[in-house]
Amino acid sequence: MMFGVTGTALATNRVSVKPVKPSKSIYKVITADWFWALCIVLGALLVPAPSPNASTVLGLPKLCIFRNITGIACPGCGMTRSMIAAGHLHLEDAITFHPMGPAVLVILAGCAFIGVIRHFRNQSPATVGSPITNIMVVVCSVLLILTWILRLRGVISTPA
């Protein structure tokens, strides 16, 4: 939190410190879940699509700590490349990188769209603890773990 000194402090030699809050509108936007969902969706659309045999995005090193330490793909390995490929409508490549990538991108795009609409209508954002959100989180988590188990068993191929 930032603090500011009032103008009367100079004349009276007394300092009164009052908290200065950031602008409510920008603070609401930056802390909103829909804002970060929108950033991810825009990133998937703006980052160049990876080639089908790409092992990284933009030639950056692999950042998956789990895979770097254990050598085993984590449940989310390939998700970034999958969402970027899905953002460019390369669905076959997207499913090859991670089968859940296109679905996650659609869910994030929906959350971002609803959040932007609610923001400009001055409505409160959708709550994280709502029943529909809880159901979506549980279903996506189960599918993510199931995908990981199928990858570990060799039923679904793991990207490089």
- Report pLDDT digits (tens) over 54-82: 777 777 777 788 888 998 888 888 888 89
Does a structural domain hold residue 134? yes
pTM: 0.70
Domain extent at residue 45? 32-152
**pLDDT (tens digit per residue) in 90-129:** 999 899 889 999 999 988 888 888 888 887 888 776 666 6
Identify the pLDDT of residue 14: 62
Identify the pLDDT of residue 159: 76
Does a structural domain hold residue 50? yes
Instruction: Tokens for 106, please give them.
Output: 């659609």
Identify the pLDDT of residue 1: 47
- Residue 108: which of 43, 30, 26 has the closest Cα? 43
12 plus 54 within the same structural domain = no
148 plus 128 within the same structural domain = yes
55 plus 101 within the same structural domain = yes
Contact status, residue 57 vs residue 84, Cβ threshold 8 Å: yes
4 plus 77 within the same structural domain = no
How sure is the predictor about 133, in pLDDT bands with cuts at 50, 70 and 90? confident
Does a structural domain hold residue 160? no
